[in-house]
Amino acid sequence: MVAKTDGGYARRVMRRLYIIGLTFVFIVGIVLAITLHRSTSETQIAFSQSPVQSRPNEPAVDVSTYHLVTEKIEHERAGLSLRYRRAASDSERESTLVQARESFLSSVSNIFPYWYGTVWDFHGTTETPGKGKIACGYFVSTVLRDLGLKVQRTKLAQQASENIILSLTTNDHIKRFRESPLNKFVEEVKALGAGLYVVGLDVHVGFILNTGDDVFFVHSSYGAPYCVVKERAAESRILGSSRYRVLGKLSDDDNLILKWLKADQFFTRT
């Protein structure tokens, strides 16, 4: 009888310990789930808010009017193209080319603000500013396409940054910087003059906009605030951290401006 009683008692103890163990595991699981949910939610909130926080101090734009801006750019390009084809002299063609360069640069300033705050993602391919996500290469190729350059948007976006630049311009308009301090790089960009550049970094690509007064880095940032931003080049952590920089000045390339005027195809270097 004693042996049976001891055995029953042991079984009851084991059963209670088993139930307590299951309860403990269940409670720990709930706590971990709540913690993970809070962490994810906080990350999502920070991510969703960062585009608003990162917007530069420029006039707000209505992203729904983006198509109107690109249509206006195309209208101006087509008009200049017609004027260039009808030019009766070299001086008239040269004058039209100068106007085309100015139009191209002003179009850049009009189109960039629509993209500020668009969320970055390594696989982002959106074609609509403010909606979806966009990777750095797709930001460059999409903006260039919407400016009127006949680029192969997807193929160009997927290339190494140097090949992106070489698909657009030639070595005559390209400078390379290795292990150059950021302040020295910015000073050299200033010396190269106002205009639009594409800059390739170790693992990144974006635009350099030299306004004549200052130099800005416009890019879809893989670092905080994780969206398309316009920042002073001299203050950019991403620009400063790259050991290699290749810089192509698009607006100085007469052949690029002519291809823009004539709507000629740009083929992607791979």
Q: What is the pLDDT of residues 14-66, one digit of tens each?
A: 666 556 655 555 554 554 444 444 443 333 333 333 333 334 545 579 999 99
pLDDT score of 264: 98
Indicate yes or no: pTM above 0.85: no
Residue 44 corresponds to which tokens in the numbers above?
């999502």
12-32 burial code (b ≥16 CB/10 A, e <16): eeeeeeeeeeeeeeeeeeeee
pLDDT computed for residue 95 by the predictor = 97
Give residue 148's region: left, alpha or beta (phi > 0; psi -120 to 50).
left
Q: Is 175 exposed, middle or buried (CB count within 10 Å of its CB: 0-12, 13-18, 19+)? A: middle
Which distant-in-sequence residues (6+ apart) come within 8 Å of 264 by Cβ? 150, 258
More reliable by pLDDT, 9 or 120: 120
Nearest C-alpha neighbor of 108 from the set 157, 73, 151 = 73
In this structure, the number of other CB atoms found within 10 A of the CB of residue 190 comes to 16
Q: Of 228, 44, 202, 269, which Cα lies nearest the Cα of 124?
A: 228
pLDDT of the residue at 10: 57
